Amino acid sequence: MADRVFEPEVSRSLQWLSDWYKKPVALAIECKRCMTSATLPLDQVKSHQLEALVAFEKQPLAKKLSVAAPVGSSERRFHGKSEFDFIFVGPGKSYVLVNFRFTKKAPRKDIPKGLNKCFALTPTQYLEAEKYCEEVGRKSIPIEWFQEHVLELERVKYESGYGWDLSPLVTGVDLTKVI
């Protein structure tokens, strides 16, 4: 089931990024949200998702766009209200974005209620995390590993709502500091 909080934030953030970053860029993003545990279970990122992220960095991608009907709509499951049918994108950068969001209850006493952090891992970093977990006998990646090893994205407020500064994913530079 699609995430109704984190994914719309990422969508808003991508729109903001496209408005400010005027150069062509290809990004593939897989979103994961953790709300009850300070870990990301390894089974949350499926092998086919990771394989697709790795492939996206090496070869172009051609896809048919399927636009889902709005929730509660009496229309068919998919409707034809997209701008075009297919998209072809050259190889690009790919990431797993992991959102630790504890708005109702913190999972541990050392983590404050209200924590809302987003981390961006490359597929290579995810594979390193899997290897680390295997070596220490874990089935999930702890938040501390994210804090020590991967890029944390800044939370920002756009006119249309909150999101994340994705500019470091394409530029290595935080555009919110420049603007």
Dist CA 155 CA 138 (whole Å) = 29
pLDDT value for 159: 87
Minimal CA–CA distance to 119: which of 91, 92, 144, 93? 144
pLDDT value for 73: 54
Q: Is 133 part of a structural domain of the chain? A: no
Q: Which tops the pLDDT comparison, 79 or 174?
A: 79
35 and 115 in a single domain? The answer is yes
Q: Is 172 part of a structural domain of the chain? A: no
Provide the domain limits for residue 68: 64-91
The answer to pTM > 0.75 is yes
DSSP three-state, residue 174: coil
Q: Is 147 part of a structural domain of the chain? A: yes
7 and 81 in a single domain? The answer is no
80 and 48 in a single domain? The answer is no
Q: Is 52 part of a structural domain of the chain? A: yes
Q: Is 103 part of a structural domain of the chain? A: yes
Dist CA 177 CA 179 (whole Å) = 6
Q: Which amino acid is at 1?
A: M
Which alpha helices (DSSP H) does the chain contain, by range? Answer: 6-20, 47-56, 123-136, 143-149, 167-170, 175-178
Q: Is 135 part of a structural domain of the chain? A: no
pLDDT tens readout for residues 35-76 = 999 999 999 999 999 999 999 999 998 988 776 655 555 555
In the chain, the number of structural domains is 2
Residue 68 tokens read as 């889902």
36 and 3 in a single domain? The answer is yes
Contact of 113 with 102, CB cutoff 8 Å: yes
Dist CA 8 CA 161 (whole Å) = 10
DSSP three-state, residue 64: strand
